[in-house]
Amino acid sequence: MTEVSKPLTITQVQEHARLFTMLLTLTTGVLLISDLWEQTLTQDSMASAGRGVIFILLALGLMGTRRLSVALTALLCATTAMGLLNVGRAIVLTDWLELVMLIFCSGLLFTSTGRRSGMQIGETE
């Protein structure tokens, strides 16, 4: 017997995109922290590792359903996107991961959740 595939609903797509973003965030955090073993301990390397810790904490928040962690992840990734405009900067893997996260987080923030779309003014959840 063959199983008929069901089309994905918007909420399932949003959930999968959120989980994919969570995996990217966790990977970026681990990569930023693991750079401490390859670089000398300078102020820049410690700041990069600190950003890695923040990414890991945001990955924990992305496991939930609220939008705050998505917005904070987008803001943190946007700071790197602005730094990519520097001419002499070398682009590394974590920069690409942060750009992909920024795209996914922006998409998640601009799509409606559908949960509040049918509510009247003054109603509570």
**What's the pLDDT band for 1 if we cut at 50, 70, 90?**
low
Q: What does pTM read for this prediction?
A: 0.79
| 74-117 pLDDT tens trace | 999 998 888 888 878 788 899 999 999 999 999 999 986 655 54
pLDDT for the residue 87: 79
Instruction: Count CA atoms closer than 13 A to 100's CA, side-chain side.
Output: 15
DSSP string over 28-62: HHHHHHHGGGTS---HHHHHHHHHHHHHHHHHHHH
Distance CA 117, CA 90 (A): 44
| DSSP code of residue 70 | H
pLDDT for res 28:
95
pLDDT digits (tens, 9 = 90+) for 45-83: 999 999 999 999 999 999 988 899 999 999 999 988 888
